[in-house]
């Protein structure tokens, strides 16, 4: 496994739409492994492939609620409620803001074995699912900030 370089805000790759994964190849499996290692090293909750310069619809997330999730071609299929809470991003270091996200989110995706899975999360997991899937569509959390926190007011 390898630690990958996390792209920062301003890098054009973060503004592009990622392509779906057509086939789960050894290269995709290596990408998943490397993304997990990179996320752990950076002390993050989630990481999307564009954040490491790969325009593929691949996301990893790890919370206490969910354990490790490896999601290929994730799609939000249902949302419920609303939450306002602090959010940050490994690609926007040092910037934190309050965002408005759904309280509950259901996502369909493929796992690393190509099996369709459904994940439902609340609170932090719901926020992380929305945040990482936004990356796949070229969006940063800063587009959802209603109030910046700390020195970023």
| Distance of alpha carbon 90 from alpha carbon 138, whole angstroms | 15
Name the active-site residue from 22, 65, 132, 143. Answer: 132
DSSP string, the chain: --PPPPP-TT-GGGGSPPBPPSS--HHHHHHHHHHHHHHHHTT-SEEEGGGGT--BSEEEEEETTTEEEEEEEEEEEEEES-EEEEEEETTEEEEEEEEEE-SEEEEEEE-TTS-EEEEEEETHHHHHHHHHHHHHTT--GGGGEEEEEGGG-
Per DSSP, what are the bridge partners of residue 94? none
**Does 132 qualify as catalytic in the annotation?**
yes
**8 Å CB contact between 130 and 83:** no
Catalytic residue positions, numbered: 132
């Amino acid at each position: 496994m390898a630690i990958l370089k996390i792209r920062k805000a301003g890098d054009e790759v973060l503004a592009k739409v990622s392509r779906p994964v057509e086939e789960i190849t050894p290269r995709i499996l290596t990408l998943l492994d490397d993304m997990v290692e990179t996320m752990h090293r950076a002390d993050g909750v989630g990481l999307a492939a564009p954040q490491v310069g790969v325009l593929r619809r691949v996301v990893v997330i790890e919370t206490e609620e969910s354990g490790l999730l490896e999601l290929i071609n994730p799609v939000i299929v249902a949302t419920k409620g609303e939450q306002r809470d602090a959010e940050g991003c490994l690609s926007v270091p040092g910037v934190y803001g309050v965002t408005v996200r759904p309280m509950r989110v259901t996502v369909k995706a493929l796992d690393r074995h190509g099996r369709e899975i459904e994940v439902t999360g609340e609170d932090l997991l719901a926020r992380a699912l929305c945040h990482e899937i936004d990356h796949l569509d070229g969006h940063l959390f800063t587009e959802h900030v209603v109030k910046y926190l700390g020195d970023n007011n």
